[in-house]
Amino acid sequence: MNTFLENQNWRYATKKFDATKKISTEDLNTLKEAIRLSSSSYGMQPYKILIIENPELRAQLQAAAWGQSQIVDASHLIVFANITNFGNDDIDAVLNIFTTQRALPANALEGYGGFIKSKIASLPEEVKNVWTAKQTYLALGNLLNAAAELKIDVTPMEGFEPSAVNEILGLEKLGLNAALLATIGYRHEEDETQHYKKVRKSNEDLFITL
């Protein structure tokens, strides 16, 4: 646990990446697996993860992300895209994965599926989209922690125009929406932010024990 906390103190939202340094295939696969294993409500994973390597595409996305240099300088750009209007078909598709991987009868999870549908499918579309977008932050958390263990820098980014990113990547046609971006790679030695003292609320200010 001490190592985990040391890594949390090491990490920060990198402002300037070293564009000459790339993440190895092995480490990228580890980060992908960390995202895949993230917790999600009901185990539904109501999102898709896009890993953007193409430099021309990233240049277009930079304009949609307020010109931030991390978009083009980082080793990889990750787009967390929530599924829009998540419904019964989406739920059934995930439950099919459950039954297949656990070698269960096809109808074994009908009751569980009915419960999930009663809680989600009947919600207004806007509410469902907020819910699926929130789930991407759980996946981001796993990415941040796994990357810190590998001494890979991550910058989570909400500073972008979702509609523009959606248009560039054709996400709406796929029933997706760009909820969150993350750039991953290695900090540049000229990034002064890495030398800033880490500032967080004290235990007394943050925690309430009842």
Backbone angles phi, psi at 41, to 5 degrees: -60, 125
If we measure between CA atoms, which residue out of 182, 154, 144 comes closest to residue 14? 154
What's the pTM? 0.95
d(CA 126, CA 100): 31
Contacts for 170 with CB less than 8 Å, ≥ 6 apart = none
What pLDDT is recorded for position 2? 86
Q: CA–CA distance from 22 to each of 29, 79, 153, 169, 179 (Å)?
A: 13, 18, 11, 23, 25
- Find all residues with CB under 8 Å of 61, minimum gap 6, and list them: 52, 71, 77, 160, 165, 168, 169
Question: What pLDDT is recorded for position 122?
Answer: 83
In the chain (210 residues long), the average pLDDT of successive 10-residue segments reads: 92 98 98 98 97 98 98 98 97 96 93 95 94 98 98 98 98 98 98 96 97
The tens digit of pLDDT for each residue in 149-194 reads 999 999 999 999 999 999 999 999 999 999 999 999 999 999 999 9
Query: Measured between alpha carbons, how far is 176 from 172 in angstroms, rounded to an integer?
Result: 5
Buried b / exposed e over 68-89, threshold 16 CB at 10 Å, is bebbbbbbbbbbbbbbbebbee
CATH code for the part of the protein at 18-38+48-86+125-186: 3.40.109.10
Name 79's bridge partners: 50, 181
Q: Where are the domains of the chain?
A: 18-38+48-86+125-186, 87-120
Angle, CA 179 vertex, CA 174 and CA 181 arms, to 5°:
110
